[in-house]
C-alpha cells in the first residue's frame, strides 16, 4: 500500500497493520517517504488515535530501525529505569548505585537535558574526566564487575524516533499519547533491558500536567512494554514542586551524594526506595518489596550504596576525590539568598518556572548544541507546606553573571505562592501501575 493510501486509511479512523507500520517506518528512516507525507500521517494519528496493537507495532518498528543492544554478556536480569523528566530530578544518580548495591544489573542509557528538565549525563559530567562514551565491552564489563554502567545514547539507537520526534516538534504533533509512549518505549526496548521501571512525573514541572494524563501515559507505556515481552512497572510521582532542594547539575550531584550517605531529603529518598524496591524484586535480588526496601535503606546508611557510587565514578573515568569531597565539584562565583518580605505558608511553587530560572542562569540548554554551566542553579530552603517568617531565606541562587542573578532572584520570588494558612500537600508517590 502506498504512503498516500496509508494516510487515507488512518484519516478515516482505520487501524494500520504490523506490516504497513514496519514498512512505513523503514522507508521513512531510509528517506524514501518525504517529511510532508509523514507529517500528514502524524496529524491523522493525532485526530484518530491508535489502538494498543498499532502503538506496540509502531514502538517495535522504531526500536528495530537501528541497533538493538545485545546485553546477553551481562549476567542476571537487566533492569532499566526511565523518568519522564522534571525539575531537580537527580533520581538516577542515587537509584543506580543503590540498586547495584543489592546486585541488580543496572545497564542504563541516558540522555542530556533539554529545556527546563535536566539530563543525567550533564550531571555526571560535573566529575572531572567522567565519560559516558563507553565501548560495548567496557559497558558490559562494568555491569558485570560493579553492577552498574551509564552510557550515552548512540546515534544507532532507534534512529526512526529521533527523525520522527524532530518532525513532530515542528508540526504540532508532539502531544499525542500513543506517539509519546512509543517514542519513550522504542528507546527503552532498543536498550536491551529485561525489565523496566518507569517514573512518570505529574504536576506543574512535568510533561504531563494532570494526574489523569500522567496515568494514561503510564498505562500506555506499561501495556506496550508487556506486549513487547518486558517485565513492567510504572510509578507515578509528584512533580508539582522540585524533587529535593537542589536544581542545577553540580548542586544536584552534591544532594545525590548526601542521599547516598543517608542524609538526603525525604521526598527523594522515598522515591528512590520505591523505584529501587521494584528493581530489586524484578531482578530477583529480594523476595518482596518490603524486603527490598529494608535492605536498600540499610545500604543508604551503612556506606554500601555510596561505595558503589565511588566505584561507578572511577570506572567511567571520573575523579573520585570529588565524590569524597563534594566541595571540589564545580561551584559558582556568585551566591545570593532570596529573602521574603512577608511570611506565611508555601502554598504553591511554579515548578516549570523554577526549571526555567535554572536555564536562565545557564544550567540547561535551549538547543541540543547549547553550552551548559555545570556550577549554577538554585538551592531551595522552603517547599510546599513549609512556614516562612518575614526576612527568612526562601532559596539561594548560584550564578556566574550578576545580571542573570538579579533577574533570577526576581523571577524566583514570583514563582512562589505564600498564603496565611497551611494547605495540604501531595505525597511524592501518587500511584503504582503494573
CB 196 within 8 A of CB 225: yes
What is the pTM assigned to this prediction? 0.92
Q: Give me the percent of the chain exceeding a pLDDT of 70.
A: 97
Q: Does the pLDDT of residue 154 top 90, yes or no?
A: no
Q: Model confidence at 169, in pLDDT bands (50, 70, 90)? A: confident
N-term to C-term CA, the chain: 37
The runs of H, that is alpha helices, within 362-391 are none
**Count of beta carbons in the 10 Å neighbourhood of residue 12:** 9
Q: Which domains does the chain have, with CATH numbers?
A: 3-49 (1.20.970.10), 79-324 (3.40.1030.10), 331-419 (3.90.1170.30)
> Among the options 57, 161, 238, 373, which is catalytic?
161
At residue 175 the predicted structure's pLDDT band, cuts being 50, 70 and 90, is confident
Spatial strand order in the sheet of 429-433: 79-83, 195-202, 231-238, 429-433
Give the pLDDT confidence of 207-261 residue by residue, as tens digits.
Answer: 899 999 999 999 999 999 998 899 999 999 999 999 999 999 999 999 999 999 9
Residue 277 among the catalytic residues: no
Q: Would you list the DSSP string of 128-151?
A: TT------HHHHHHHHHHHSEEEE
For residue 116, pLDDT beyond 70: no
Strand ranges inside 102-247, DSSP E: 106-110, 148-152, 195-202, 231-238, 246-247
Which band of pLDDT confidence, cut at 50, 70 and 90, is reported for residue 364?
confident
Q: What percent of the chain has pLDDT over 90?
A: 85
Distance, in Å, from the CA atom of 100 to the CA atom of 41, rounded to the nearest integer, reads: 43
Average pLDDT of 159-170?
89
Mark whether 161 is an active-site residue. Answer: yes
Catalytic residue from among 82, 112, 123, 201: 82
pLDDT attached to residue 102: 98
Structure confidence at residue 112 (pLDDT):
65
Please pick, among 101, 183, 214, 237, the residue that the annotation labels catalytic.
Answer: 183
> Lowest-pLDDT range, 205-214, 276-285, 373-382?
205-214
Under 8 Å between Cβ of 252 and 88: yes
The β-bridge relationship of strands 246-247 and 79-83 is: unpaired
3-state secondary structure of 287: coil
* Half-sphere exposure for 395 (CA within 13 Å, toward CB): 28
Written as one string, the DSSP assignment of 108-120 is: EEE---BTTB--H
d(CA 433, CA 376): 36
Strands 231-238 vs 195-202: parallel, antiparallel or unpaired: parallel
Biggest CA-to-CA distance, the chain:
69
What distance in Å separates the CA atoms of residue 320 and residue 326, rounded to the nearest whole number? 10
Which residue among 90, 112, 187, 293 is the active-site one? 187
Using the predicted structure, report yes or no on whether residue 368 has a pLDDT greater than 80.
no
At a CB cut-off of 8 Å and minimum separation 6, what does 323 contact?
127, 257, 306, 309, 310, 313
**Do 218 and 254 touch, CB atoms closer than 8 A?**
no
pLDDT at 275 over 70: yes
Asked which of 163-177, 274-288, 322-336 is least confident by mean pLDDT, the reply is: 163-177
The b/e string for 72-111 (b: 16+ C-beta within 10 A; e otherwise) is eebeebbbbbbbbbbbbbbbbbbbbbbbbbbebbbbbbbe
- The confidence score (pLDDT) of residue 117 equals 59
* Phi, psi (rounded to 5 degrees) for 380: -75, 145
**pLDDT of amino acid 434:** 87
Instruction: Considering the candidates 123, 147, 168, 201, report the single residue annotated as catalytic.
Output: 168
DSSP 58-90: HHHHHHTTSPPP--TTS-S-BEEEEE---SS--
Mean pLDDT of 41-60: 95
Q: Is the sign of the CA dihedral 282, 286, 291, 293 positive or negative?
A: negative
Q: In the predicted model, what is the mean pLDDT of residues 23-45?
A: 97
Residue 394 in 3-state DSSP? strand
The pLDDT assigned to 136 comes to 87
Least confident of 188-197, 288-297, 387-396: 188-197
171 vs 367, more confident: 171
**pLDDT (0 to 100) of residue 174:** 84
Q: Are 418 and 340 in contact (CB under 8 A)?
A: yes
Q: Among 154-168, 258-272, 374-388, 417-431, which is the least confidently predicted range?
A: 154-168
pLDDT of residue 11: 97
Confidence label for 318 from pLDDT (cuts 50, 70 and 90): very high
294 is catalytic: no
- Is residue 351 within 8 Å of 242, Cβ to Cβ? yes
On average, the pLDDT of the chain sits at 94
By CB atoms closer than 10 A (0-12, 13-18, 19+), residue 70 is exposed
At 92-103, the pLDDT tens digits run 999 999 999 999
**pLDDT over threshold 70, residue 367:** no
3-state secondary structure of 214: helix
Integer angstrom CA distances of residue 149 from 94, 155, 306, 312, 395: 13, 18, 15, 7, 34
Q: Is a pLDDT exceeding 80 seen at residue 105?
A: yes
The mean pLDDT of 203-208, rounded to a whole number, is 92
Q: Residue 37: exposed, middle, or buried by beta-carbon count in 10 A (0-12, 13-18, 19+)?
A: middle
The pLDDT of residue 114 is above 80: no
Residue 119: its pLDDT value, please? 81
More confident residue, 364 or 408: 408
On the CB side of 99, CA atoms within 13 Å amount to 36
Amino acid at each position: 500500500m502506498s504512503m498516500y493510501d496509508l494516510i487515507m486509511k488512518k484519516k478515516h479512523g482505520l487501524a494500520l497493520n504490523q506490516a504497513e507500520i514496519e514498512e512505513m517506518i523503514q522507508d521513512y528512516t531510509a528517506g524514501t517517504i518525504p517529511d510532508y507525507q509523514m507529517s500528514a500521517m502524524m496529524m491523522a494519528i493525532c485526530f484518530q488515535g491508535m489502538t494498543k496493537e498499532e502503538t506496540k507495532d509502531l514502538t517495535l518498528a522504531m526500536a528495530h530501525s537501528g541497533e538493538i543492544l545485545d546485553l546477553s554478556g551481562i549476567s542476571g536480569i537487566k533492569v532499566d529505569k526511565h523518568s519522564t523528566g522534571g525539575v531537580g530530578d537527580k533520581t538516577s544518580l542515587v537509584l543506580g548505585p543503590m540498586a547495584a548495591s543489592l546486585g541488580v544489573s543496572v545497564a542504563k542509557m541516558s540522555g542530556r537535558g533539554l529545556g527546563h528538565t535536566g539530563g543525567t549525563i550533564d550531571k555526571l559530567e560535573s566529575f572531572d574526566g567522567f565519560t559516558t562514551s563507553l565501548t560495548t565491552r567496557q559497558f558490559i564489563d562494568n555491569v558485570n564487575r560493579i553492577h552498574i554502567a551509564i552510557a550515552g545514547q548512540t546515534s544507532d539507537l532507534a534512529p526512526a524516533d529521533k527523525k520522527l520526534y524532530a518532525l513532530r516538534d515542528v508540526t504540532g504533533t508532539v502531544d499525542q499519547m500513543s506517539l509519546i509512549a512509543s517514542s519513550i518505549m522504542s528507546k527503552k526496548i532498543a536498550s536491551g533491558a529485561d525489565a523496566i521501571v518507569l517514573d512518570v512525573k505529574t504536576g506543574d514541572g512535568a510533561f504531563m500536567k494532570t494526574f489523569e494524563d500522567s496515568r494514561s501515559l503510564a498505562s500506555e507505556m506499561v501495556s506496550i512494554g508487556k506486549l513487547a515481552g518486558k517485565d513492567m512497572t510504572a510509578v507515578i510521582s509528584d512533580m508539582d514542586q522540585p524533587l529535593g532542594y537542589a536544581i542545577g547539575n553540580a548542586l544536584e550531584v552534591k544532594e545525590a551524594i548526601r542521599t547516598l550517605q543517608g542524609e538526603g531529603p525525604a521526598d527523594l529518598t522515598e522515591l528512590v526506595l520505591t523505584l529501587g524496591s521494584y528493581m530489586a524484586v524484578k531482578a530477583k535480588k529480594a523476595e518482596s518489596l518490603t524486603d527490598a526496601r529494608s535492605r536498600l535503606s540499610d545500604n543508604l546508611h551503612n556506606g554500601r550504596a555510596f561505595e558503589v557510587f565511588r566505584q561507578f565514578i572511577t570506572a567511567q573515568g571520573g575523579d573520585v576525590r570529588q565524590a569524597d569531597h563534594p566541595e571540589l565539584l564545580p561551584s559558582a562565583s556568585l551566591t545570593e539568598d532570596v529573602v521574603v518580605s512577608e511570611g506565611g505558608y508555601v502554598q504553591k511553587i511554579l515548578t516549570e518556572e523554577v526549571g526555567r530560572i535554572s536555564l536562565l542562569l545557564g544550567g540547561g540548554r535551549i538547543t541540543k548544541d547549547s553550552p551548559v554551566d555545570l556550577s549554577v542553579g538554585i538551592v531551595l530552603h522552603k517547599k510546599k507546606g513549609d512556614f516562612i517568617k518575614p526576612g527568612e531565606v526562601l532559596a539561594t541562587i548560584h550564578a556566574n553573571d550578576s545580571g542573570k542573578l538579579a533577574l533570577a532572584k526576581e523571577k524566583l520570588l514570583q514563582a512562589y505562592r505564600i498564603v496565611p494558612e497551611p494547605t495540604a500537600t501531595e505525597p511524592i508517590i501518587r500511584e503504582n501501575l503494573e
